[in-house]
Structure 1
Amino acid sequence: MSSSRVGFRFFANSRTAFKNIRQNGSKGFRFQSSEATAAGAEQTTFQKLWNSPVGVKTVHFWAPVMKWSLVIAGISDMTRPAEKLSLTQNLALTATGAIWTRWCFIIKPRNVLLATVNFFLGCTGLVQVTRILLWRRSQEGGSTAAAAKHLAEETTESAKSVAESVENKVKSQ
């Protein structure tokens, strides 16, 4: 097929590549042979990154890249007044960052890029939670106990509203 359109050329070339893989007795569609991994010293830096278990062609690379948008959004919230920030949302971001940072060092392959983004996500959430609590404490006369009481009341109200909405959904079915 000698089309000048890029999509058709790509399709024709990839179809030929898949035929060659099948004819050579390879199991499944692998783009990398065992000889290529054995010759790791001969690979360029780009090839090592491409063929890495956490490389560019895997979700282990793209998930952290996309998650940086949450960190950037948290940093941009630093310019917003503390009274307009959501405490529950920032608590969730802090917890997510802390939990997933630890988990990234447990899973195989170990994903340092994902651990880094989760660490910064947790730090950003923690800074925002601190800003919210300090603002609430200043509004309630400087009492830390009053701010904690208000936090407990807000969390209880939020949990009750979620439970009620679930009950209403179950009853309506």
Structure 2
Amino acid sequence: MSFRPGSRIFSSFRPFFRQGQADARRRASTAPGPGRFAGFWNSPIGPKTVHFWAPVMKWGMVLAGASDFSRPAESLSFTQNFALMCTGAIWTRWCFVIRPKNVALAAVNALVFAVGATQVGRIYLYNKSLETTEGQVKGEGKELEAELKATAQKAEKAIRS
């Protein structure tokens, strides 16, 4: 086997380009019947295994995180959403390492990462907007303080004269 990545890809797709019996196999695999369902039921990532039920249950996390999109950013937890983002990233990678590779679980974990990253971004932008408004308020406060001092000095002069 060659170490070139391209040769591995082409050699894995070689059976699809063979002539003759490929059409018969293709028709047999798409035919409806108990064989297809039994194959899914007994597969290594079928409903009898955790590889099937983990992504099904994890959709709840994606839906809960997506429902928080309507909440204001001030009521969201940065640490919780950051943990959600890291969990999604780590488990997405892990889904491609384990055997059998579980693409459905990897997709759900990628969406968990996306939801967490979106919420962390919203919280970050909200905190940045607070910092800029605090800076503006401090600047306006200094201006008002200077105006008040000037007004107080005018009032003292008016009282003395």
TM-score under structure 1 normalisation?
A: 0.57
Residue 59 of structure 1, aligned match among 50, 73, 79: 50
For 1:53 and 1:63, the matched residues in 2 are separated by 13
Residue 131 of structure 1, aligned match among 104, 107, 122: 122
Helix, strand or coil at the partner of 1:122: helix
* Cα-Cα RMSD: 1.8
- Alignment-mate amino acid for residue 125 of structure 1: G
Runs of 4+ in 1 over 6 A off after TM superposition: none
- Deviation readout 1:141-164 (Å, 9 max, x if unpaired): 179xxxxxxxxxxxxxxxxxxxxx
Which residue pairs with 1:71 in the alignment? 62
- Residue 113 of structure 1 pairs with residue 104 of structure 2: yes
- Deviation readout 1:61-83 (Å, 9 max, x if unpaired): 00110010000001000000000
Structure ranking higher in helix proportion: 2
Which residue pairs with 2:81 in the alignment? 90
Which residue pairs with 1:100 in the alignment? 91
Helix, strand or coil at the partner of 1:140: helix
The higher relative CO (CA closer than 8 Å, separation ≥ 6) is in: 2
| 1:48–1:127 Cα change, 3 Å | same
Shift of 1:48: 1.3
Which residue pairs with 2:137 in the alignment? none
For 1:119 and 1:61, the matched residues in 2 are separated by 16
- Alignment-mate amino acid for residue 139 of structure 1: L
Percent of aligned pairs sharing the same letter? 58
Greater CA radius of gyration, 1 or 2? 2
In structure 1, stretches of 5+ residues that fail to align are 1-40, 144-173
